Structure 1
Amino acid sequence: MLLHTLYLVAIVAEAMTAALAAGRRSMDWVGVCLLGAVTALGGGSVRDVLFGHHPLSWVSHPEYLVITAGAALMTIAVARIMHRLRSVFLVLDAIGLVVFTVIGCNVALDLGLPTVDVIVSGMITGCVGGVLRDVLCNDVPLLFRSELYASVSVVAGGLYVGGLSAGLPHDLVTAGAMAAGLVLRLLAIVRGWNMPKFVYAEDLH
């Protein structure tokens, strides 16, 4: 129940941040709604298509489309004060990342997939929605920049799978993996931790 509640909070937050990205690209209201829904639900949809998990979450729960589109539209009304809530949305985005990761891992576990696939499923669920948003907005996806984002998902997913394999209580493992991922993501934001960059400049002269 708590995980589902956090999931709803996460998709609302993702839809609202996507709406701001749509506004920066001067999209119309339809574009705002679509980008919000794609960002919030895209990771799970891509996961389900890749692993043959049907029906898709928003097909079996069409209210998710209403929630995300509504959150995106609501953002238009409160856009002028959104800059004051930047810290709140950074925290909500971090929560969304770890919640989506655990949900993605659970889907793969239910399908009986190998451990590596389970962790990848978590990462896809947590990160791909943001990739789709950035691609549609013609930006370099956050996943491919130096920020600790996908790596946080992998850590959280690895802890989750490892804890379950060790026979620890499910609720304890879920809370521990999510807490570790959340702390790591927030520390990366506050302290500016980044992954090493690969810089290549070919000298043509």
Structure 2
Amino acid sequence: MPVSGDAATLALVLDLLGTFVFGLSGGTLAVRRGLDIIGVLVLSTAAALAGGMARDVLLGATPVAALADSRYLLAALVAGLAAFLGHPLVERLGKPVMVFDALGLGLFAVTGCRKALAYGMDPLPSLLLGVVTAAGGGVLRDLLVAEVPRVLRGEIYALAALLGAGVVVLGDGLGLPAAPVTLAGVGAAFLLRLVSVRRGWDAPRSPWS
């Protein structure tokens, strides 16, 4: 079932922000790898849109938002151009790919989960779709430059997305206001991802691996 009013507006704003941020992560990585302008835009677009498109296809929300609303594609392309033209400025932020990726992870985990809940999905599938939304763009971005995706490296990546989505599910179950719960979910995923990278935390591994 579709959402409306303030919740829909907040979801759209966060979805577009996540699209732009993930686009920056893809574009920045492409510039670092020495790709040309087309390569930068392709990587930016892939990183920005893949997760949301996968979410919408799985929900049956077609045509997917990234194709039905040109603002998504525009946000991805603007992010790619920003990375291409302003790379030195972006690099001054310090580890920009990781920072943008962490922020995009939190934004997409929350919006993906919230959209799934709005379409009547149960909490567990909604958590899964939050993770798919958050990780999908990063997976495709890394594969296109022949890197092992972060979600498979043992880093706290999918777990951070799961935390952000979990905050949304919990808040929704308790009937808490959508806006503060959404922002808390984004912050939780973002902070866990950043702290885990800084401290070198990894996801649990089998003792037999």
Scaled to the shorter chain, the TM-score interval is 0.7 to 0.9
Q: Secondary structure at the match of 1:85?
A: coil
Shift of 1:6: 4.0
Structure 1 residues 104 and 142: alpha-carbon distance in aligned structure 2, compared to 1, 3 A threshold: same
> Does residue 126 of structure 2 align to residue 126 of structure 1?
no
Q: Count residues in correspondence.
A: 201
Amino acid of the structure 2 residue aligned with 1:65: L
Shift of 1:70: 2.4
TM superposition score normalised by structure 1:
0.86
> Does residue 187 of structure 2 align to residue 182 of structure 1?
no
The question of whether the paired residues in 2 share the 8 Å contact of 1:19 and 1:32 is answered with yes
TM superposition score normalised by structure 2:
0.84
- Where does structure 1 lack aligned partners over 5 or more consecutive residues? none
Superposition misfits of 4+ residues, deviation over 6 angstroms: none
Question: In structure 2, how many angstroms separate the alpha carbons of the residues matched to 1:76 and 1:102?
Answer: 28
> Does residue 178 of structure 2 align to residue 160 of structure 1?
no
2:144 is matched with which residue?
A: 136
Q: Percent identity?
A: 34
Task: Identify which range, 91-100 or 142-151, moves more after superposition.
Answer: 91-100
Task: Identify which range, 65-74 or 131-140, moves more after superposition.
Answer: 65-74
Question: In structure 2, how many angstroms separate the alpha carbons of the residues matched to 1:77 and 1:197?
Answer: 41
Amino acid of the structure 1 residue aligned with 2:169: V
Task: Identify which range, 115-124 or 46-55, moves more after superposition.
Answer: 46-55
Structure 1 residues 65 and 186: alpha-carbon distance in aligned structure 2, compared to 1, 3 A threshold: same
Shift of 1:152: 0.7
When the two chains are superposed, the root-mean-square deviation of aligned CA atoms in Å is: 2.3
The aligned runs of 1:1-205 (5 Å cut-off) are: 1=9, 3-87=11-95, 90-197=98-205
Amino acid of the structure 2 residue aligned with 1:131: V
The question of whether the paired residues in 1 share the 8 Å contact of 2:25 and 2:96 is answered with no
